[in-house]
Structure 1
Amino acid sequence: MKYHRVPLGPIQTNCYLLVNDDKECLIVDPGGEGKKLNQLIHKQQYKPQAVVLTHAHFDHIGGVDEVASHFSIPIYVHKKEKSWLKDPAVNGSTFFGLGEVTVQSDVTLFAGEGSTTIGSFSFELYETPGHSPGSVSLYFKEAELVISGDALFEGSVGRTDLHDGNHEQLLKSIHTKLLVLPEETLVLSGHGGETTIGQEMDHNPFLNGF
Structure 2
Amino acid sequence: MLNYRRLIVGEMGTNCYLVWAEDKTAIVIDPGDEGVEIAQIIDEMQLEPTAIMLTHGHFDHIMGVTDLQLIFKIPVAMGKKDAFLVDRARETAEYYLKRKIKAPKIKSLNTGFRNIKNIKLATEIIKVIKTPGHTPGGVCFYAPKSGFLFSGDTIFANGVGDTSHQYSSKLDLNKSISKLLRLPDSITVLPGHGEEISLILLKKLFLQNFVSYLA
Q: What's 2:10 paired with?
A: 9
Q: C-alpha distance in 2, partners of 1:44/1:148?
A: 24
Q: Which has the higher helix share?
A: 2
Q: Residue 140 of structure 2 aligns with which residue?
A: 137
Change in Cα spacing, 1:78 to 1:98, as seen in structure 2 (3 Å) is: farther
Q: Report the Cα distance in structure 2 between the residues aligned to 1:42 and 1:89, rounded to whole angstroms.
A: 28
Deviation at 1:162, TM superposition (A): 2.5
Aligned to 1:175: 178
Report if aligned partners of 1:55, 1:78 keep a CA contact under 8 Å in 2.
yes
Correspondence for 1:67:
68
Worse overlay, 118-127 or 163-172: 118-127
Task: Give 1:105's aligned residue.
Answer: 107
1:142-170 alpha-carbon deviations (Å, 9 max, x no partner): 00111000001002111111341122221
Amino acid corresponding to residue 185 of structure 2 in structure 1:
E
What TM-score does the superposition give when structure 1 sets the normalisation length? 0.92
Q: Does 2:127 align with 1:124?
A: yes
8 Å Cα contact 2:154-2:161 kept in structure 1: yes
Which ranges of 4 or more aligned residues in structure 1 deviate by more than 6 Å? Answer: none
AA aligned opposite 2:53: V
Residues 123 and 181 of structure 1, relative CA distance in 2, 3 Å threshold: same
**1:1-210, aligned counterparts within 5 Å?**
1-88=2-89, 92-96=92-96, 97-100=98-101, 101-112=103-114, 115-118=117-120, 120=122, 122-176=125-179, 178-204=180-206, 205-210=208-213
- 1:103 CA displacement: 3.2
Q: Distance in 1 between matches of 2:195 and 2:145?
A: 21
Cα 1:62–1:193 shift into 2, 3 Å = same
Letter in 2 for 1:172: K
Residue 155 to residue 25, structure 1, CA distance change in 2 (3 Å)? same
Q: Deviations over 1:52-89 (max 9, x none)?
A: 00001010001001012210100001111123212237
Match of 2:16, as an amino acid? C
Give the CA deviation at 1:200: 1.2
> 1:17 deviation in Å?
0.5
Q: 1:168 is paired with a residue of what secondary structure?
A: helix
Q: What percentage of residue pairs aligned between the two structures are identical? A: 31
Q: Which runs of 5+ in 1 are unaligned?
A: none
Does the aligned pair in 1 maintain the 2:113–2:128 contact within 8 Å?
Answer: no
Alpha-carbon separation, structure 2, partners of 1:167 and 1:60:
21
Letter in 1 for 2:109: V
Whether the 8 Å contact between 1:140 and 1:146 is mirrored in structure 2 is: yes
Matched-pair contact (CA < 8 Å) for 1:86–1:103:
no
Aligned-pair CA distance for 1:117: 2.4
Please tell me the residue identity of whatever aligns with 2:142. Answer: Y
Give the drift of 1:105. Answer: 1.9
List alignment gaps of at least 5 residues for structure 2: none
Q: RMSD over aligned Cα, in angstroms?
A: 1.8
Question: When the two structures are aligned, how many residues end up with a matched partner?
Answer: 208
Q: CA contact under 8 A between 1:113 and 1:124: conserved in structure 2?
A: no
**CA distance in structure 2 between the partners assigned to 1:98 and 1:201 by the alignment:** 39
